[in-house]
Amino acid sequence: EPEVTQTPSHQVTQMGQEVILRCVPISNHLYFYWYRQILGQKVEFLVSFYNNEISEKSEIFDDQFSVERPDGSNFTLKIRSTKLEDSAMYFCASSERTSGYEQYFGPGTRLTVT
């Protein structure tokens, strides 16, 4: 069964460093998403991406964040200058279509900023 994959599973970085989190969505899916979950808190939407551009973003997704689909398979989330409060699980998801279609989640990347 096709699945969303994410790498790395765990990333430790120092405050101020740039990190890139990588995702490979399901191959025939057209909509891509990033969510994050700070330890003990709810899963929060960050950004949705379709047709090589951002379709919606949350207040969390400020200028420090960017997303890219550099080739036909990868979908990346970049944090330019990490802060302690960026420590969280970051989940990538993809769906075949928007709204009425199920979003499939990857296993997540645990980002620890020290």
Partner 1 sequence: TQLLEQSPQFLSIQEGENLTVYCNSSSVFSSLQWYRQEPGEGPVLLVTVVTGGEVKKLKRLTFQFGDARKDSSLHITAAQPGDTGLYLCAHRAQKLVFGQGTRLTINP
CB 34 within 8 A of CB 102: no
- By CB under 8 A, is residue 33 in contact with partner 1? yes
**Residue numbers 69-108 binding partner 1 by CB under 8 A:** 91, 93, 98-99, 102-103, 105-108
How many residues lie near partner 1 (CB under 8 A)?
22
* DSSP letters spanning 21-44: EEEE--TT--EEEEEEE-TTS-EE
Q: Which amino acid is at 2?
A: P
**Residue among 19, 26, 32, 48 that touches partner 1 (CB under 8 A):** 48
What 3-state class would DSSP assign to 29?
coil
Among 72, 87, 69, 70, CA closest to 19: 87
- By CB under 8 A, is residue 35 in contact with partner 1? yes
CB of 106 to partner 1, least distance (A): 5
| Residues contributing to the site for partner 1 (CB under 8 A) | 4, 33, 35, 41-45, 48, 55-56, 58, 91, 93, 98-99, 102-103, 105-108
